[in-house]
Amino acid sequence: KAGVTQTPRYLIKTRGQQVTLSCSPISGHRSVSWYQQTPGQGLQFLFEYFSETQRNKGNFPGRFSGRQFSNSRSEMNVSTLELGDSALYLCASSLGSTGGGETQYFGPGTRLLVL
């Protein structure tokens, strides 16, 4: 099976712009979770989507949003970019069959640099 794919892999934006990142989960997986990784804060949970609904949300401002499509592909959007949003954004997929607590498999990530 193909793994989790994320596009684009690298992105450079300027402050104030917005960005959309895409994630395609492993075939058959219905849950997609997003994480932000920075040197200072480590890996932090952004949100999880299952069956096109946000099931869980981390402690990030409303500038961070996401959605999931009927084919389980997910996008996350960051509006009004700030320098501190520079990070590696990781998507993880899991089966989604048990309501939570499932093994998650990570994609390669999108590295965002905000100038």
Partner 1 sequence: QKEVEQNSGPLSVPEGAIASLNCTYSDRGSQSFFWYRQYSGKSPELIMSIYSNGDKEDGRFTAQLNKASQYVSLLIRDSQPSDSATYLCAFFTGGGNKLTFGTGTQLKVEL
Q: Which residues bind partner 1 (CB under 8 A)?
A: 31, 33, 35, 42-45, 48, 50, 55-56, 58, 88, 90, 92, 94, 96, 99-109
Q: At its nearest, how many Å lie between partner 1 and the CB of residue 1?
A: 15
In angstroms, the CA 51 to CA 63 distance is 22
Q: At its nearest, how many Å lie between partner 1 and the CB of residue 29?
A: 11
Question: In this complex, which beta carbon is closest to partner 1, that of residue 16 or of residue 84?
Answer: 84
Q: At its nearest, how many Å lie between partner 1 and the CB of residue 109?
A: 5
Burial label, 33 (beta-carbon count in 10 A; 0-12, 13-18, 19+): buried
The answer to whether 15 and 103 are in contact (CB under 8 A) is no
Question: In this complex, which beta carbon is closest to partner 1, that of residue 65 or of residue 105?
Answer: 105
Q: Which two tokens stand for residue 46?
A: 């952004």
Q: Which two tokens stand for residue 110?
A: 């999108």
Q: At its nearest, how many Å lie between partner 1 and the CB of residue 57?
A: 9
Amino acid at 92: A
Residue from 75, 83, 85 nearest 37 by CA: 85
Question: In this complex, which beta carbon is closest to partner 1, that of residue 76 or of residue 92?
Answer: 92
